[in-house]
Amino acid sequence: MRILVTGGAGFIGSHLVDKLMENEKNEVIVADNFFTGSKDNLKKWIGHPRFELIRHDVTQPLLVEVDQIYHLACPASPIFYKHNPVKTIKTNVIGTLNMLGLAKRVGARILLTSTSEVYGDPLEHPQTEAYWGNVNPIGVRSCYDEGKRVAETLMFDYHRQHGIEIRIARIFNTYGPRMNIDDGRVVSNFIAQAVRGEPLTVQKPGTQTRSFCYVADMVDGLMKLMNGNNTGPINLGNPGEFTMLELAENVKELINPEVTVTMTENTPDDPRQRKPDITKAKEVLGWEPKVVLRDGLVLMEDDFRERLAVPKKTKA
């Protein structure tokens, strides 16, 4: 099986590549422009006979012969997508059009990693796949939220009009090793701050909630969706819900009990609550997350310490 992973040098993409490469029947091609991804994430595969890395921006057409396409390419953290909102919406819209064009030409099945952001600041809690969302079309995050909504539309239009085999995953907050250290996402922020001995900055009011899924669980869900028979959309995430203050306290306790927790101003359009309803994933894919937050945070700490070159203090 020849498999293309766009955004395969990124955080989730590189973990997906690791898993796909475990199967000796797979040949994996990664296309990435390294805007937020890193070659470092793929270093163990470079030079492997079943692996190919192409520096490519998905807003340009790509001609490769493949059986499956995992389309993950897109900056997924507010710092990156607000830095270049036009590029973000181009990646979501033109990038998805190009990958659908490729899928149509070569008869490949294509999976889009959409996002819980399609639900916006939800008026329903928890969110099921039937919820249409509450999204600001002209806010600073809209390039990402609306970009992914259009990408979903394109997927279904190609499916209905051209018979393309599509899969859509709506992924909720995911964390784990290889996250960008200063990407503005809350888990990476807190862990980097705790490792560096800096105060943990919680955005006000601190009672806003998120649910966090460990990256190995997420990759398992994506592969089950790709190889199953349901088009989706299917929510993939961990329904365990934490307030930002609870998350900060967990990080503090597990990683550096000496740091303080401080409050800062929030960003506009920050959703108050985010929690997936994963009933469909359980029923259709037989999938649910296995790694609990406290275990996942510790696995992430080791990776961050290595990259920040801050060893653990030895107990006297």
Active site residues: 144
* Distance, CA of 53 to chain centre: 20
Helix (H) or strand (E) holding 31: strand 27-32
Pairing of strands 213-214, 209-211: unpaired
The answer for 203, left when phi > 0, alpha when psi is -120 to 50, beta otherwise, is beta
Burial (0-12, 13-18, 19+ Cβ within 10 Å), 296? buried
Q: By C-alpha distance, which of 35, 44, 31 is closest to 183?
A: 35
CA distance 200 to 248: 7
Cβ contact 217:285 at 8 Å: no
Place of tokens 């349901």: 230
List all residues 6 or more positions away from 27 whose beta carbon is below 8 Å from its beta carbon.
1, 2, 3, 50, 51, 52
Q: By C-alpha distance, which of 3, 46, 43 is closest to 23?
A: 3
List all residues 6 or more positions away from 294 whose beta carbon is below 8 Å from its beta carbon.
250, 254
The 10 Å CB-count burial string (b at 16+, else e) for 12-44 is bbbbbbbebbeeeebbbbbbbbebbbeeebbee
List all residues 6 or more positions away from 277 whose beta carbon is below 8 Å from its beta carbon.
126, 127, 128, 129, 235, 239
CA distance 249 to 153: 40
Rounded to the nearest 10 degrees, the angle between the axes of helix 293-308 and helix 186-196 is 60
